[in-house]
Copies of this chain bind each other. A is one copy, B any other.
């Protein structure tokens, strides 16, 4: 079962004692009812240096921005609006005042962009690496909240943007890092003379998707404007395959996804080719896209086809049919939750 399965078991059977706890563990956010016209949404993430980010190539400003965005993405994934965040940091001695200013500059930029208030937190020292813990709080009218468990057979499965680019960005960064270390190693005692210039030309989009992802507030707004209310939704942080299985498990359904319909960016395809990787596998299992995965009633098909940056990739089936990917040649493969995401590793 493993430690992460254990924690799931230890927390999922908790019965709420308080009337204000409407939904606890198990979705992108907890949902609280404090009696106002809106429900209060709460989500939290803990990011650890060496596990979720590598400061050798992640600029602190980008890290600050991304660490806020990954939390806001969970609020949007409930069809909510983020309002506040708390930020707790554990800092080791090697951080300078300028470093911390950079980190906060990134966090504040994300807050400003999404009209979110930083309302508190905790700051402490760390004997080891940097730890960033952010809790985001948001709101939604009760009738607007979209859970993972509302998908119905015949619903259409949709995703925003394109998939796999963040994962390819990470591969690129890791490759350039290893080239650098190889040059250092080959230089031996002359390693001070190594002037390494990583080669990212033409790959800027992949880097941006990895280093500075965006939470898809725009998609939430576009759907509301088009009069489309998703029946289920979540953000794609662990990879499409894993997230589809969450929706299907919680909705007691199956699904059919068409390989040819999975949205890919040109750079993602080129990079996968270069690394000799299967681009569909990258799109299905690469994490950190922070796109939205949602299902809509079949009757909304015409409405959704008019939307930019949203693509129908398949449909929901009865549970007994399982979850499958239909490849270009017509063959079917059962989906596996081999999601890869350093931000949610092994969860």
Q: Which residues of A contact B (CB under 8 A)?
A: 1, 3-4, 6-7, 10-11, 14, 16-18, 20-21, 23-25, 29-30, 32, 34-38, 40, 42-52, 83-84, 86-91, 95, 97, 100-101, 104, 108, 115-129, 131, 133, 135, 137, 139, 343-347
CB pair B46–A89 under 8 Å, yes or no, is: yes
Most chain B CB neighbours (cut-off 10 Å) among A49, A86, A122: A122
A306 to chain B, nearest CB (A): 32
Q: Which 9 A-B pairs have the closest CB atoms?
A: A35-B36, A133-B133, A128-B128, A46-B88, A50-B127, A36-B36, A30-B119, A24-B119, A135-B135
CB pair B84–A18 under 8 Å, yes or no, is: yes
Query: How many identical subunits does the complex contain?
Result: 2
Closest to A27 in B: B120
CB pair B119–A42 under 8 Å, yes or no, is: yes
26 CB-based A-B contacts, threshold 8 Å: A3-B95, A3-B100, A4-B123, A6-B100, A7-B100, A7-B123, A14-B118, A16-B117, A17-B115, A18-B83, A18-B84, A24-B119, A25-B118, A34-B38, A35-B35, A42-B84, A42-B86, A44-B86, A46-B90, A46-B133, A49-B127, A51-B125, A122-B344, A125-B345, A128-B129, A131-B133
Please indicate the chain B residues that have their CB under 8 angstroms from the CB of A117 in the complex.
14, 16-18, 21, 24
Give bound CA distance, A86 to B11, whole Å: 11
